[in-house]
Structure 1
Amino acid sequence: MRLTLAEELFLVPKRDRTGRLLSNDALSFGVAGAVLTELALLGRLVLRDGRLVAVDGRSGGLAGERAGPPAEEWWQAVRAQSRPRRPARTVGTVAAGKAYRSVGAGLRDRGVVRDERRRFLGVFPVTRWSEVDAAPGLAVRDRLARAMGGGAVDERTAALVLLVDACGLSRRLFPEADRRARKARLGELSAGPWANEGTGEAVRAIAKGVASAISTARAVRSSG
């Protein structure tokens, strides 16, 4: 089954044997970052003077894309901005556009996950996501484990590892590696294997933007 980066990140953090998926603000920003990273890998988003700029890249569209809202739509939104914005701001904009929920809905429509809608304390609506078909998520987690173990890594897998780390999930997903080993491997993956230096620069900036957006959101929440 072909998955976009956003779909892969959505499926990564399985919580327990029931198949329930971890869902929080950090992952919401991560999925938004994955949408932007997909575009960067296609050469349709580049980093200029520390800001993300939409350009005509290697592809006129995203072949095989099924997640919604389409990354093409977000590319158009970035392109329509009055001026380029820094990665963290762009990540926040995509997250506020409910990218996480839309990606989940796309996976639900394909029979990969299901959603359960409840009310927390009888008032606040909450959506819980669980795996129906465990195979796609398992394949993604296995690929990430091999990458962190020193196996051969393509640019999409390297980008996904950086996004996982930006969301603060590295320790949860790779508990067998100590902190120093994880940090060293992440450094190796951050340096490559990118198709070109410009692509890697944009992908790294988006991952940092995800981490920055998460940190800012937590600071705002704790100050309130």
Structure 2
Amino acid sequence: MFTIAEALVLLATDKEKGTQVSGADSIEYGITGAILSELTLMERVELQEDKMVVVDRTPTEIPYFETVLDEVEKAKKPQQVDYWVDRLPFKMHNIKKEIIQSLVEKRVLKEESKKFLFVFNWKHHPEADGRAEEEIRNRLQRIVFEDETPDPLAGILLNLIKICNLTAEVFGEDKKETVEKRIEKIAAESEYDVAISKSIEEMEAAIMIATTTAISMTVINSAMPPNN
């Protein structure tokens, strides 16, 4: 069993190189949305007067869930969703390490070290067992192309794949447009509790804005002439 964040990281990791695939530059925002959405579904956090608050501090036994809950709980005052979507990606180095460690412990990824410039150790995480990712991809294929009913976790994962510009990576470049239209339809038909639905919609809207801004800045920076 995988969390949304684990599935997203796995899909965004090159199987052989064990590094992040190209085009996944905004994955930090996607991971943030995955964790906040799942904590919402678990009824550990909720919106109160449009501010995110922790409502259940029972241990989740998932390290990166605890990390995010700690961040939200120790804030001086409750903050809106877009605050956390902007803030948590700056904490993502440790959060992502915890997610990858979880996948290593589940024997889906393995950790390997290489020397960089013969001095620095560089860790990467190729697949140890490809069956897990294949099962996730097959499930998503059935949902998109065979009208299999998605559970809330799969529905959120699909939307984050689209938001994070991973549709072509997961489904193929030739199917990108068709898949994204189908994902929009699935999202529109998703049924959650009213409060949970509002929280997830706000998270996805904030992530969409953040990722669009990040991608735009990347394009602008790459188009600028180098300094002499």
Question: Which category of TM-score, normalised to the shorter sequence, fits these structures?
Answer: 0.7 to 0.9
Percent identity at matched positions?
21
Q: Secondary structure at the match of 1:113?
A: coil
Distance across 2 between alignment mates of 1:46 and 1:19: 38
Flag the structure with higher helix content. 2
Distance across 1 between alignment mates of 2:209 and 2:116: 28
The CA RMSD over aligned residues, in Å, is 3.0
- Equivalent residues in 2 for 1:195-214 (5 A)? 195-214=192-211
Distance across 2 between alignment mates of 1:121 and 1:209: 39
Distance across 2 between alignment mates of 1:207 and 1:125: 36
Structure 2 contact 46–55 (Cα < 8 Å) conserved: no
Q: CA deviation at 1:170?
A: 1.4
Distance across 1 between alignment mates of 2:117 and 2:184: 43
Q: In the alignment, does 2:11 pair up with 1:12?
A: yes
Structure 1 contact 158–192 (Cα < 8 Å) conserved: no
Q: Unaligned regions of 5+ residues in structure 1, if any?
A: none
Which of 164, 170, 181 matches 1:167? 164
Task: Determine the structure 2 residue equivalent to 1:91.
Answer: 85
- Equivalent residues in 2 for 1:82-121 (5 A)? 82-97=76-91, 98=93, 99-118=95-114
Q: Unaligned regions of 5+ residues in structure 2, if any?
A: none
Task: Determine the structure 2 residue equivalent to 1:44.
Answer: 44
Number of positions where the alignment pairs a residue of Structure 1 with one of Structure 2: 215
Q: CA deviation at 1:133?
A: 1.4
Structure 2 contact 162–180 (Cα < 8 Å) conserved: no
Distance across 1 between alignment mates of 2:18 and 2:138: 18
Distance across 2 between alignment mates of 1:118 and 1:27: 24
Structure 2 contact 30–207 (Cα < 8 Å) conserved: yes
How has the CA–CA distance of structure 1 residues 195 and 112 changed in structure 2, closer, same or farther, with 3 Å as cutoff? Answer: same
For each residue in 1:12-63, what CA deviation from the matched residue of structure 2 results, as whole angstroms up to 9, or x when unmatched? Answer: 23535x37453553223222221111101112233456x5412425x8343x
Structure 2 contact 167–180 (Cα < 8 Å) conserved: no
Q: CA deviation at 1:11?
A: 1.0
How has the CA–CA distance of structure 1 residues 166 and 178 changed in structure 2, closer, same or farther, with 3 Å as cutoff? Answer: closer
Rg (Cα) greater in structure:
2
Q: Secondary structure at the match of 1:53?
A: strand
Q: Secondary structure at the match of 1:139?
A: helix
Which of 185, 202, 220 matches 1:188? 185
TM-score, with structure 2 as normaliser: 0.78
Task: Determine the structure 1 residue equivalent to 2:30.
Answer: 30
Distance across 2 between alignment mates of 1:104 and 1:46: 27
How has the CA–CA distance of structure 1 residues 198 and 121 changed in structure 2, closer, same or farther, with 3 Å as cutoff? Answer: farther
Structure 1 contact 192–200 (Cα < 8 Å) conserved: no
Tell me which amino acid in the other structure corresponds to 1:30: G
